[in-house]
Structure 1
C-alpha cells in the first residue's frame, strides 16, 4: 500500500529549510538547489510544491508571519489569553528577537524587507497582506484597552469614528516602533531586555501607565 504524503507537512519542511538558508546566508542564497539540499529532498520536489523561486520565497515569508502569530495566540481558531493590553504586550514580545528562534525569524524578515526595497527577488506589494492584517489586530486591541472618546459639542461628529481613526494611527505607530526595536536588537543597539522595557514604555505612552490596582489584581 503506497504511503500517504502529508503535503502541508512537506511544505513546512521545505519552507523551514528555506528559512534556515536565508537566516544563515541571505535571501539570494535561497535557490532551489540550496533549499532542497537543506531540506533533504529533491530539487524537483521543491519545484512541484512552489513552482518558482518567488513562490517559494513568498510561502517562506508567510510561514514566518504565521509562526509569529502563533506565538502570541493569533493563529486560526485561537483566542489569546488576558486583556487587550496583555495581548498587545504578547504581540510585541512575539515580534522582538528575544531568543534564538525569534532572532532567526527577524533576520529572515529583514532580508525580505531589504529585497523589497530594491525590487529584487520579491515585490513589496506581494508581502503587504500579513502586516496590514496585524495593524488591524493591534488597532482592535487598542480600542478594547482604552475608554471611548469624550463628549463632543457637535452632534454631527461621531466620537466613535474619531476613536477608530486615531487608534488606527496609534496601531501604525506601535508596529513601526516595534520594527525599529527589532532592527535595534539585531544591530546590537539594544539588548532584548532593553527592547522589551521600551515596548512596555510605548504601551504606557499609548494607553497610560498600568494602575497599581490593576497590577495587584494581575498578580
Structure 2
C-alpha cells in the first residue's frame, strides 16, 4: 500500500482522491480507480497537473457518460481479448472490446473499453456483468492487451484487498464511528490480512478459521 488518508465522517472517498495521490510522483504513471472517483475534476487533475494517465471505471454515478458508452456500436467492433480465471470458488470469463472516441465530453478521453464478465459460482446460476472504462491513452500508447492488463490488475487489488475487507471482515457493515476506533480497527484488519498472506494463505477465510484461539493467533504474529 503506497499510502492512505482518513475520510472525514461528513465527507466521502471522492474528496480524498487528490489528497491521497498528491504526495506521489505520478509522472507517466497510469492510475486505475473505482467508479466513485470517475469525476471530471479528478481526471483532469491527473492528466494536466500530475502528468499521469488514467483508466477509469464508469458506472451509474455518471449516467450520461455510461449511456454514451452503451450506445457505441459494439456489435461492429471485434473482440480483442478473452481471459479466463478461477478463484473464490467461481469461474470467470472476460471479453474485451476497445473503441477510439473523441466525443464523450469527458476530460482527455481517447479510448473506451467494454468488458463483459461471465461468472459461474458453485451452487449459483451464471451471471453476466457489463463494465465500461475510459482512458486518456491513445491507441499508440495503450493497446487492447495493455488495457486488459490494467483492468485485471485493478480487479486483482479489488479481490485481494477490498473484497477481503468488505466480505471476510464485514468492514462496510461496521457501525463503529467513535473517535479513532474506525482507524484503529482498520489497521488491525490490515495487520491480520498481511500476516495471513505472509503465512502462505491464498484465501483469507481458511486462515482466519485456523487462528481462532488465543494461542494460534499469537503464533501467527510471532509472539511466544
The structure with more helix, counted as a fraction of residues: 1
Relative contact order: is structure 1 or structure 2 higher (C-alpha 8 Å, sep ≥ 6)?
1
TM-score (normalised: structure 1): 0.29
